């Protein structure tokens, strides 16, 4: 499952579409209707509790949208779900609840 919340996560899901069959790829939400400035209503999200993982880009620097402990509905996802976090632009900039993530990566 993928959240499309800005330019970086859009590039990520575009890339993963090369490797995952369309019927297996779940785009949880896409914030393009707000020009990636605000999160969509979580009641509209496509969530599969049996999905292998959830990928989030925690800071979309181009549009200024950041996922934090306080503004994200973590409770919607199973506690044992693998959460992959792209923290390329905000790792080390704030306190992070590392228990939320199974793997984190950052690129330059």
108 has pLDDT over 80: no
pTM for the full predicted model? 0.90
What integer is the mean pLDDT of 40-62? 94
Mean pLDDT of the chain: 92
Q: Kindly report the CATH number assigned to the domain that includes residue 87.
A: 3.40.640.10
- What are the CA-CA distances from residue 88 to residues 6, 93, 105, 108 (Å)? 14, 11, 7, 7
Confidence of residue 61 (pLDDT cuts 50, 70, 90): confident
Q: Which domain holds residue 90?
A: 2-105
Q: Which two tokens stand for residue 35?
A: 């020009």
* Domain count along the chain: 1
**Which of 2-6, 42-46, 66-70 comes out lowest in average pLDDT?**
66-70
40 has pLDDT over 90: yes
Measured distance CA(73)–CA(87) in Å, rounded: 18
């Amino acid at each position: 499952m993928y959240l499309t919340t800005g330019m970086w996560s859009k590039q990520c899901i575009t890339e993963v579409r090369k490797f995952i069959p369309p019927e297996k790829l779940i785009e949880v939400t896409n914030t393009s209707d707000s020009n990636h400035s605000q999160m969509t209503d979580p009641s509209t999200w496509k969530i599969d509790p049996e999905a292998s993982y959830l990928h989030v880009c925690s800071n979309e620097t181009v549009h200024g949208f950041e996922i934090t402990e306080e503004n994200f509905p973590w409770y919607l996802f199973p506690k044992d779900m693998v959460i992959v976090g792209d923290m390329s632009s905000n790792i080390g900039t704030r306190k992070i609840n590392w228990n939320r993530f199974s793997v984190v990566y950052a690129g330059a």
